[in-house]
Structures are given as structure tokens and as C-alpha cells.
Amino acid sequence: MCALALLTAALMLLPDMLIGPTQWVTRTTANRTMDVTWRPSDGDVFAALPGQVRPPADDAPYAAFRIAWDTAGFRLPAEPHGAYPVAVFGDSFTEGFNVERPYSDGLADALGVGVRNYGYRAYGPVEVAQVAGEFAAAEPRQWVLWGYFSGNDLGDAVRGPRIDARSPVAAWRALFDRLRPPSPTPTAPPDESGAPRYNQPLPVIIGGSYYDLAFVSYYAWWQQTPPDAASSRNADVVRAALDAFDAALPPETCRAVVFIPPKERVYARYIVEGDRQFVNAANQRVVTSPGGTLTFAPAPVEDEAAYFDSLYAHRDLIAALLAERAGWRLIDLTPAFEAAAAEERLLYYPYDTHWNQAGHDLAAQVIAEAIKDGC
């Protein structure tokens, strides 16, 4: 019993050493360099929808490239500069782990100045606020940008820690999970012939182009925020993140939220009608719980035109939050991405929820045009 008590105490006193990062803000990439070969099978939809996504028939690499991170664990720019008057913050969309040149590098090319990338995977508003407090004013800035992913940032605003190291039960569970051999990947249930029955990818037709795209519906659900969302706990956390930027920066620094739409927002309308009916039937929308936290409730789509119009609600919420304070702008990528999709351009990986290189390039183009003339 004494040994068990000592080990439990060690787990709670030194959790990061024994069970891995317990907080979402922790970065594990400091001073690392990695050669990445990105393939269709590396897409995050396989983890998000285990056993539901048919493996790609062709797993040839999309690209191969090298990534390096600095001493703080943030991705280094493709070309170093003596100064970085522009800084971008955000999550994995900003870090751009699965592309050679994230939009921060494209923005640097377009503006002809250094752009520092402070994005990191799985970050939400709380983590962005922490990083902003430390790095937003690390050197003089002309522009500070928050790459806000509308697919999960609002939901991640009120999540708990990655591992609750204050709980002995949670600490032990995390240790067992770390030591346990990997579980087999769930398999799809068989159809009448015995072949696996996969739900994804879904057929998408835009004009004369056909794509097989895998979608994570959860990201689409977050686009339908309710009318009272601005008074939710989630919105208060977003406000607190904006406050963190304001507290760190001098008044003359230009600042903007870059609104990033999910793949589901841009391409779901092009899913072949027969398959789209199943997506619509399983739809959920955001509602406010009695405790003031945003959650989901079933909301099957009955009127598609009204449904697609409702998907601008989240964007409108962020615009309203920015209108409450001076010095902030909204850079909405949705119109440019919708227009590019209508032109049959693929901006997200088929088996991943993130942008491909074309998506990052378009984002850089839109942002550069928006900020080139200053505030």
C-alpha cells in the first residue's frame, strides 16, 4: 500500500513526466526537426471516425517536406527574417503540420515581411490567450492575427484539461492508457455480402468534377449557433482571449480574427443528393444549456436552403463579439473559399479536415489583401 501511495503521489506531482502532457497548451515539439511524408491514410478522419471511413485506394504521398520548430515549440518560418512585424496565432490550421508552407509563410511572401507562426495543434481560445500573453508583444508588431477555426474553437472554449492530474483515478487511467498496447482499429460492419460497409467518404460533384471526401459532421454542427450564443460561457471565453491580446498589445497594433470555415461548411452542399439526405437526417445544432454552456440537440434538416443560410450564424456571432470592442477586424475566409469551391477547386485534403496547400495559399492571399494597407 505504501508503494501504491508513493506512486500515486508521484503521478500527481510529476504528471507530465510520467503520463504525458496534462494541459492542452503544452507543446512537445521544442527544437525538433521532422521529415514529413503526407499520405491520404494520414488523414485525421480515420481517428475521428474509427471504422467508418473506407481506406483510400491510392495512398501515394501528397507531398514530402521538412518541418522545424523553435525553442518554444512553434513552427519556424520557411525563410527567416530579421524582424516579424506580423504574428499569427491559432490551432492546427495555423501550424499547418500537413503542408510544406502554411498560410503564415504565404502571407510573408505576399507582404514582403516576416510573419511569425504561433499556431499549435488542438489549441482553443484558452490556449491562444495564454500564448498571446507571452508572445503577442515579444517584438514590435504591425499586425496580430488570430486564426479562429469555427469547427471547434467555440466548443473547445469550455473543455476540461487534457488529463485531470488532480484526480488520482484520472492519473492512473492515463498511466494505464500509456502503457497499454494500442487497441486494434475498429472495423466497419459487414453488408449483406460480407464486405465492410463504410459510411465515408461521400461522393461530391461540383460542375464537372467528382471527389470522394470524408466529412466530420461535428464541425458543421458548430456553424449553427443560437441567437443567445453571445451570452454563453463559451462566448465569454472567446472575449477573454480577445482581452488577453488587448492587454498584451499597444493600442496602435492592428489586430484581426481570421474566420476559418470547416470543410463541411464549404463542400457539404455538393454531396450527391442521396447521400446528403443521410447527413441531413443526422444533423444537430447548437443550443444553450441551462448552465449557459453551448451544447447540441438533434435538428434534422427539413429545408436545405434555410439550413445553409443558418450556417452563417457562427460567423455573425464572432462579428458581434468583435463589434463590442475597438481595434479589431474580422477577416472572413468563407466567401473566398465558397467561391473557389464553386470553381471546382479542392482546398482541403479528401481524408483530412485541414487545408491542403491550395487552401493555405488561398488563405494567405485573402489575408494579405485584407491587411496590406494597415488598420
Output 2 or 329, whichever has higher pLDDT. Answer: 329
Percent of the chain with pLDDT over 90: 83
Flag whether pLDDT at 7 surpasses 70.
Answer: no
The mean per-residue pLDDT over the stretch 85-107 comes to 99
Rg (CA), the chain: 21
Domain spans, the chain = 32-159+199-371
- pLDDT for 131-177, tens place per residue? 999 999 999 999 999 999 999 999 999 998 877 767 766 665 766 56
Query: What does residue 13 show for φ and ψ, rounded to 5 degrees?
Result: -85, -35
Query: In this structure, what C-alpha cell is assigned to residue 260?
Result: 476559418
Q: Of 362, 311, 366, which Cα lies nearest the Cα of 102? A: 362
- pLDDT for 119-130, tens place per residue? 999 999 999 999
The three-state secondary structure class of 76 is coil
CATH code reported for the domain at 32-159+199-371: 3.40.50.1110
- pLDDT for 264-283, tens place per residue? 999 999 999 999 998 999 99
Computed over every residue of the chain, the mean pLDDT equals 93
Instruction: Fill in the DSSP letter of residue 148.
Output: E
Which letter, b or e, does each residue of 230-255 get, where b requires 16 or more Cβ atoms within 10 Å of its Cβ?
bebebbebbbebbebbbebbeeebbb
Taking residue 331's Cβ as centre, other Cβ atoms within 10 Å add up to: 20
Q: Which long-range contacts (CB under 8 A, 24 or more apart) does 274-283 make?
A: 275/202, 275/203, 276/202, 279/202, 279/215, 279/217, 280/304, 280/307, 282/217, 283/217, 283/220, 283/221, 283/307
Strands (E), 229-339: 254-260, 284-288, 294-298, 328-332
CA–CA separation, 310 and 299 (whole Å): 12
The reply to whether the predicted model has a pTM over 0.85 is yes
The three-state secondary structure class of 210 is strand
Sorted by sequence, the CB contacts under 8 Å of residue 325 that are 6+ apart come out as 242, 246
Give the Cα-Cα-Cα angle 203, 339, 329 (nearest 5 degrees): 125
Q: pLDDT value at position 17?
A: 60
CA–CA separation, 359 and 147 (whole Å): 14
CA–CA separation, 66 and 100 (whole Å): 7
